[in-house]
Amino acid sequence: MAVLCKPAIAVPEYVITQEDTLELARRLHKDHTQLKLVLRLIEHTGVLTRHLIQPIDKVLKHPGLDARSEVYEEESKARVPAVVRQALDQAELEARQIDLIVYVSCTGFMMPALTAWLINTLGFRSETRQMPIAQLGCAAGGAAINRAHDFCTAYPDANVLIVACEFCSLCYQPTDLGVGSLLSNGLFGDAVAATVVRGKGGKGVRLERNGSYLIPHTEDWISYAVRSTGFHFLLDKRVPGTMEPLAPALRAVAKEQQWDAGNLDFYLVHAGGPRILDDLSRFLEVPPEAFRFSRATLTEYGNIASAVILDALGRMFDEESSREGHRGLLAGFGPGITAEMSLGTWTSTSEASE
């Protein structure tokens, strides 16, 4: 069975606090007719700190899509390799033992994808398969885990590397003044994460089942408007309420495994905002403490898009509270509105060593 191993996470060195964000909003948008609402929404995100790949004065400038694309490529090549090496070390594998690289990012674009550069640079075999995922947004972390699971189901001896590289600050648009856009300016952060799914052996979450669900006719609730100035993030005010229709989908996937989604040992979900976690607690009938890993990610790093679920997983590893056979749910939510869900059982015993 495929095992999701301990992830590696890195956040950049430039830090912005919630108070910094509020002060910027007051200064830059002092004449905005809904400034009080924006400030209140930012305060209620629960995001205390975020990490950025550039100082805030550079983030606030828009040098053009060409320049931003150059920054994305430079920064990804500078920051991803160390995270990949750490993830491989933690999975006790070498680059040549990886059969597929799933690379997820919705905050920059390269062709060929960074996977080609990684293969040529870090010692992966030329036969390594590539799967870039660019258009699932925050759900892509869950999708990457699920596609890795599928691959290892088809090829039981295979190993898959997952890389999430999200530089949300490169999507800042100074002319976007809607409430949703201004809220996003106080919510998203930058991060790089990587993990390995081993077809055999490994310690971590043994993947049992996965599924996907799309809420009908919600395509325009989370989206990018792609313009000459880059990606313009669009966030509908109805998005925070999406857990009510998605909770039954989570329950349905668990039921297929003959599990009760409201009675599991761990929950690792995408923390798009505090209401997502609060509503899941209510609709799944689990205590708020069940989402402590996701909430910690949101508080310390903000919404780091597809990397959230990997960071939450890393926090569970670090807590060392999971025991053999503990059952859990992983889920990423994003544009569509799409949920990518998986079920797993904690294993501390490597099959390879038995």
pLDDT, one tens digit per residue, over 309-353 is 999 999 999 999 999 999 999 999 999 999 999 999 999 875 543
Contact call for residues 162 and 102 (beta carbons, < 8 A): yes
> How far apart are alpha carbons 176 and 227 in whole angstroms?
12
The pLDDT value recorded for residue 350 is 59
Number of residues that make up the chain: 354
Contact call for residues 328 and 265 (beta carbons, < 8 A): yes
> How far apart are alpha carbons 197 and 114 in whole angstroms?
19
The H or E element that residue 97 is part of is none
pTM over 0.85: yes
DSSP E strands, the chain: 3-4, 8-10, 14-17, 49-52, 100-104, 129-133, 159-167, 190-198, 204-218, 222-227, 230-235, 266-269, 327-334, 336-347
- Phi first, then psi, for residue 189 (nearest 5°) are -135, 180
- Among this protein's residues, is 138 annotated catalytic? yes
Beta-carbon contacts of residue 322 (< 8 Å; ≥ 6 apart): 265, 266, 316, 328, 346
**In the predicted structure, residue 259 carries a pLDDT above the cut 70:** yes
Contact call for residues 331 and 283 (beta carbons, < 8 A): no
Which residue among the candidates 5, 106, 138, 152 is catalytic per the annotation?
A: 138
